[in-house]
Structure 1
Amino acid sequence: MSKVVLITGGSSGIGKSIGEFLSEKGFEVYGTSRNPSKYKGSKFPILALDVKDVSSIKSAVKTVIEKEGKLDVLINNAGAGITGPIEEIPEAEIQNNFDTNFFGPINVIKSILPQMREQNSGLIINVTSIAGYMGLPYRGIYSASKGALELITEAFRMELKDFNIKMTNVAPGDFATNIAAGRYHAPLIEDSPYKKPYGNTLKLMNAHVNSGSDPNLMAKEVFKIINTTNPKVHYKVGEFMQKFSIVLKRILPDKVYEKLLMNHYKL
């Protein structure tokens, strides 16, 4: 029987690429979106799901299980970008980002665990970010929310071992998607002490996304992970230097690494 896959945020960007690739490989794929009516031409069903709304999560999971009788793979892909000086980002926007990038995925996981435990099988793939391995200037909230998801996956893996449920992280670098358009950008305030460095960093970040890698690289990596008997704890997907930056963080003194980041962002 084909494996049944649920992808949060499966209507565009990386999630859409993963869904289309897995559909072509014979998987039964269900994507999700807050507004599924906008994606009627999708190659796989798009269900209504808002990761910040537990009732909508439970409803979508219930729909998949009622239709398919099982749920083999969850891909926690829904997420949101956020930029700005930490001092100037409204608290409500910080909370909103963690609700989407951290608490949301946890609630989706909690909703599918009873079914996977009953099956005595399942795979959960959390899409994080290479930015979650380091505190990046003017992306500190995003780094923190994705880093938190990386760490909680490590804990979850050990807690789920007795139930034959596997979990892993996949951290993408910069990919050519519409994430920049959907980010919350703290406004550039005219008399802000951060106006010049934040403005320059913002231009650099958007340029990286616009020239990013093909999202199909993520799709192929996810396909390989699904077909791996014992997935690793962490996977990284992206350009060599982006992945190598994680290695450098492990081996370089903290201040040296900090200086490299500041030079990169021209701070």
Structure 2
Amino acid sequence: MHPVAPLQVERFRIEQLAADRETHHAEYVLSFIVEGQLRMRHGEALQVEAGSVVIVPAGVPHQLLSGHGLDIWWLGFCPGCLGLHENQQQMAPFRQVRLGAAPAMGVAPARQALLAQYFAELQRLSASSGAGADALCKSLLSLILAEVGNAMAPTSPTRDTLVGNVLDYIQRHCCRPLSLAEVAAAVHKSPAYVTHRVKLATGASVGEWITSNRLHQACTRLLHSNASVAQVAELVGWQDTTHFIRQFRKRFGMTPGAWRRQQRHADIKP
């Protein structure tokens, strides 16, 4: 069994979009709305207009609610497969959205045609093979990410600094043994205070955030490697494979092995 391609680009034209169930992507997803309107839930209900980009970091729950007259460029990619990491500057838009920034932003009218050209060329090149095509795809992805970074307001609202620092620490250290006490010590607060602030701001506990980040990392490894379920469990911080499978089934409704098979044979959808 071969890993799924690390980068996929599709263009969708949809006259009427019906509501879908809440979902999570193992990939990082960028959607550019060329025409039409889209309603979605991404933390809160949003209406996205033509000329906007929507950012969905891997593992973040979201739901399509409705849309009409849509012409959408859809890009899904695995940063690790392309030598990228969310901590890098060009991935900053995804990081900011994960920490609470608005997931949709308008692209300046003068830049929209160029952005559409980047997507079209990336789609053409991604269908090619060879090291040269791969390098060009990565360069075009960097240009798209730069356009999105420029479109994102430098003062995009995020969660309060303490909670942002907590979630940031969890994300960077979730794949090893990690406790509430360690997280609290990293931000120089008591465990009880951190627990209260994180729960109040996000609705989830520190432990739930650790589990969520580990599951996101597990999805990436399941989709883009041939590591066994037991190996994936160990790589993302679970010493007990049975506990990992239980947590995975609780989140996704199926075992890691079944999820991997389903994702590798699933059709792309916006």
Q: Same fold (TM over 0.5)?
A: no
Structure having the higher strand fraction is 2
Instruction: Specify the TM-score bucket, using the shorter chain as the normaliser.
Output: under 0.3
Please, what TM-score do these two structures have when normalized by structure 1?
A: 0.25
Please, what TM-score do these two structures have when normalized by structure 2?
A: 0.25
